[in-house]
A and B are shown apart, each in its own frame.
Chain A
Amino acid sequence: MSAPVRVPAPAPAPVRARAAGRAVVLLALEQVRRGALVVALVAAALTAVVAASHDRVAGDPATTASLRVLAGNPAVRALFGEPAALGTVGGYTAWRAGTVVAVLLATWAVLVTTRTTRGAEESGAWSLLLSGCLPLRSVVARHLAVLALAPLAVGAAVAVALRLAGAGTAAAAVSGAGTALVGVLAVALAGLSAQLLPTRGGAAGAAVGALSAGLLVRAVGDGVDGLSWLRWASPFGLLELSRPAAGDRVAPLLVLAVAATALGAAAVAAAGRREVGEGLWSRRAVRRAPRGGLGSVEAFALRRCLRPVLAWSAGIGAYYLLTGLVATSVTGFLDEQAGFAGTAARAGFGGLDSVEGFSASLFGLLPVPVGAFAAARLAASTAAEADRRSVLLAAQPVGRLRLLGAELTATTAGTLLLVSVAAVCTWAGTSIGGGGLGLGAALRGTWNTLPVALLAAGAAALAVGCLPRAVVLVGLLPVGGGFLLRVVAESAGAPAWVVDLSPFSHLAAVPLVPADRAAGAVLTALALALAAAGALAHRRRDLLG
Chain B
Amino acid sequence: MDGPALHVEHLTKRYGDLVAVDDLDLEVGAGEVFGFLGPNGAGKSTTIRVVLGFTRPQAGRVRVFGVDAADVVHAHRLLAHVPADVALWPQLTGEEVLHLLAATRPGTDTAYRAELVERFGLDPSRPARTYSTGNRQKVALVAAFATRAPLLVLDEPTSGLDPLVEQEFRETVRRAREDGQAVFLSSHQLAEVEAVCDRVGILREGRLVEVAPVRRLRALHRAEFTVDFTGPAPRLSGLAGVGPVEVLAAGRVRFAVSGSPAAALSALAAARVSALDVREPGLEEVFLEHFGQRSPR
Assembled-state Cα–Cα distance A411/B86 (Å)? 27
Specify which of B80, B87, B106 lies most central, judged by the most chain A CB atoms within 10 Å of its CB.
Answer: B87
A6, CB-defined interface residue at 8 Å: no
In the complex the two chains form, is A399's CB within 8 Å of B73's CB? yes
Q: Choose among B72, B89, B92, B129 the residue that contacts A400 (Cβ–Cβ < 8 A).
A: B72
In the complex the two chains form, is B95's CB within 8 Å of A394's CB? no
Assembled-state Cα–Cα distance A387/B95 (Å)? 21
Interface set, chain A 195-211, CB cutoff 8 A to B = 198-199
Collect the chain B residues with CB atoms within 8 Å of residue A333's CB. none
Given contacts A297-B104, A395-B80, contact A290 B93 (CB under 8 A): yes
In the complex the two chains form, is B96's CB within 8 Å of A392's CB? no
B105, CB-defined interface residue at 8 Å: yes
Collect the chain A residues with CB atoms within 8 Å of residue B92's CB. 294
- Contact string against A for B residues 229-265, beta-carbon threshold 8 Å, 1 for contact and 0 otherwise: 0000000000000000000000000000000000000
Specify which of A288, A290, A396 lies most central, judged by the most chain B CB atoms within 10 Å of its CB.
Answer: A396
Q: Choose among A199, A291, A395, A542 the residue that contacts B81 (Cβ–Cβ < 8 A).
A: A395
Assembled-state Cα–Cα distance A542/B21 (Å)? 15
Q: Write the nearest CB–CB distance from A123 to chain B, whole angstroms.
A: 10
Q: Choose among A288, A294, A304 the residue that contacts B103 (Cβ–Cβ < 8 A).
A: A294
In the complex the two chains form, is B140's CB within 8 Å of A392's CB? yes
- Contact string against B for A residues 113-154, beta-carbon threshold 8 Å, 1 for contact and 0 otherwise: 000000000100000000000000000000000000000000
Q: Write the nearest CB–CB distance from B24 to chain A, whole angstroms.
A: 17
A389, CB-defined interface residue at 8 Å: yes
In the complex the two chains form, is A294's CB within 8 Å of B125's CB? no
Assembled-state Cα–Cα distance A543/B70 (Å)? 13
- Contact string against B for A residues 366-395, beta-carbon threshold 8 Å, 1 for contact and 0 otherwise: 000000000000000000100111011111
A33, CB-defined interface residue at 8 Å: no
Assembled-state Cα–Cα distance A387/B92 (Å)? 16
In the complex the two chains form, is B105's CB within 8 Å of A397's CB? yes
A398, CB-defined interface residue at 8 Å: yes
Collect the chain A residues with CB atoms within 8 Å of residue B126's CB. 285-287
Assembled-state Cα–Cα distance A437/B52 (Å)? 55
Assembled-state Cα–Cα distance A73/B143 (Å)? 64
Collect the chain B residues with CB atoms within 8 Å of residue A393's CB. 100-101, 104
Q: Specify the chain A residue showing the minimal Cβ separation from B155.
A: A391
In the complex the two chains form, is A392's CB within 8 Å of B54's CB? no
In the complex the two chains form, is A542's CB within 8 Å of B76's CB? no
Collect the chain A residues with CB atoms within 8 Å of residue B75's CB. 397
Q: Write the nearest CB–CB distance from B62 to chain A, whole angstroms.
A: 14
A2, CB-defined interface residue at 8 Å: no
A4, CB-defined interface residue at 8 Å: no
Q: Write the nearest CB–CB distance from A415 to chain B, whole angstroms.
A: 23
Q: Write the nearest CB–CB distance from A223 to chain B, whole angstroms.
A: 39
A300, CB-defined interface residue at 8 Å: yes
In the complex the two chains form, is A285's CB within 8 Å of B52's CB? no
In the complex the two chains form, is B56's CB within 8 Å of A396's CB? no
Assembled-state Cα–Cα distance A68/B79 (Å)? 72
Collect the chain A residues with CB atoms within 8 Å of residue B189's CB. none
Assembled-state Cα–Cα distance A387/B103 (Å)? 23
Q: Choose among A287, A296, A540, A543 the residue that contacts B127 (Cβ–Cβ < 8 A).
A: A287
In the complex the two chains form, is B88's CB within 8 Å of A396's CB? no
Q: Choose among B72, B87, B100, B127 the residue that contacts A391 (Cβ–Cβ < 8 A).
A: B87
B222, CB-defined interface residue at 8 Å: no
Collect the chain A residues with CB atoms within 8 Å of residue B76's CB. 395-398
Interface set, chain A 267-293, CB cutoff 8 A to B = 283, 285-291
B41, CB-defined interface residue at 8 Å: no
Q: Write the nearest CB–CB distance from B55 to chain A, whole angstroms.
A: 4
Q: Write the nearest CB–CB distance from B205 to chain A, whole angstroms.
A: 20
A interface, by DSSP: helix, strand, loop or mixed? loop
Collect the chain A residues with CB atoms within 8 Å of residue B103's CB. 294-296
Q: Write the nearest CB–CB distance from B99 to chain A, whole angstroms.
A: 4
Collect the chain A residues with CB atoms within 8 Å of residue B140's CB. 392
In the complex the two chains form, is A392's CB within 8 Å of B143's CB? yes
Q: Specify the chain B residue showing the minimal Cβ separation from A294.
A: B100
B90, CB-defined interface residue at 8 Å: yes
In the complex the two chains form, is A394's CB within 8 Å of B54's CB? yes
Given contacts A287-B127, A543-B49, A543-B55, contact A389 B89 (CB under 8 A): yes
In the complex the two chains form, is A300's CB within 8 Å of B87's CB? no
In the complex the two chains form, is A291's CB within 8 Å of B73's CB? no
B85, CB-defined interface residue at 8 Å: yes
Collect the chain A residues with CB atoms within 8 Å of residue B106's CB. 397
Assembled-state Cα–Cα distance A287/B140 (Å)? 19
In the complex the two chains form, is A392's CB within 8 Å of B101's CB? yes
In the complex the two chains form, is B101's CB within 8 Å of A396's CB? yes
Specify which of B55, B104, B130 lies most central, judged by the most chain A CB atoms within 10 Å of its CB.
Answer: B104
In the complex the two chains form, is B125's CB within 8 Å of A388's CB? no
Collect the chain A residues with CB atoms within 8 Å of residue B73's CB. 397-399
Given contacts A391-B83, A542-B55, contact A294 B96 (CB under 8 A): yes
Collect the chain A residues with CB atoms within 8 Å of residue B72's CB. 394, 397-400
In the complex the two chains form, is A290's CB within 8 Å of B99's CB? yes
In the complex the two chains form, is B105's CB within 8 Å of A389's CB? no
Assembled-state Cα–Cα distance A398/B79 (Å)? 12
Q: Specify the chain B residue showing the minimal Cβ separation from A304.
A: B89
Collect the chain B residues with CB atoms within 8 Å of residue A304's CB. 89
Given contacts A286-B126, A296-B104, A543-B54, contact A388 B83 (CB under 8 A): yes
Assembled-state Cα–Cα distance A287/B55 (Å)? 36
In the complex the two chains form, is B56's CB within 8 Å of A540's CB? yes
Assembled-state Cα–Cα distance A294/B87 (Å)? 17
Assembled-state Cα–Cα distance A286/B130 (Å)? 10
Assembled-state Cα–Cα distance A541/B87 (Å)? 21
Collect the chain B residues with CB atoms within 8 Å of residue A397's CB. 72-77, 104-106
Q: Choose among A286, A300, A396 the residue that contacts B105 (Cβ–Cβ < 8 A).
A: A396
B227, CB-defined interface residue at 8 Å: no
Assembled-state Cα–Cα distance A294/B130 (Å)? 20
B182, CB-defined interface residue at 8 Å: no
B30, CB-defined interface residue at 8 Å: no
Q: Write the nearest CB–CB distance from A20 to chain B, whole angstroms.
A: 26
Q: Write the nearest CB–CB distance from B60 to chain A, whole angstroms.
A: 15
- Contact string against B for A residues 156-170, beta-carbon threshold 8 Å, 1 for contact and 0 otherwise: 000000000000000
Q: Write the nearest CB–CB distance from B101 to chain A, whole angstroms.
A: 6
Specify which of A297, A391, A540 lies most central, judged by the most chain B CB atoms within 10 Å of its CB.
Answer: A391
Collect the chain A residues with CB atoms within 8 Å of residue B77's CB. 397
Closest 9 CB pairs of A and B: A395-B81, A397-B76, A543-B54, A388-B87, A294-B100, A542-B55, A290-B99, A290-B96, A397-B77
Q: 7 A-B residue contacts at CB 8 Å?
A: A283-B127, A290-B93, A291-B96, A304-B89, A388-B87, A392-B143, A395-B80
Other A-B pairs beyond A391-B86, A398-B76, A398-B105, 20, CB < 8 Å: A285-B126, A287-B125, A294-B96, A294-B100, A300-B100, A300-B104, A304-B89, A389-B89, A392-B140, A394-B72, A395-B76, A395-B83, A396-B101, A397-B104, A397-B105, A398-B104, A540-B56, A542-B49, A543-B54, A543-B55
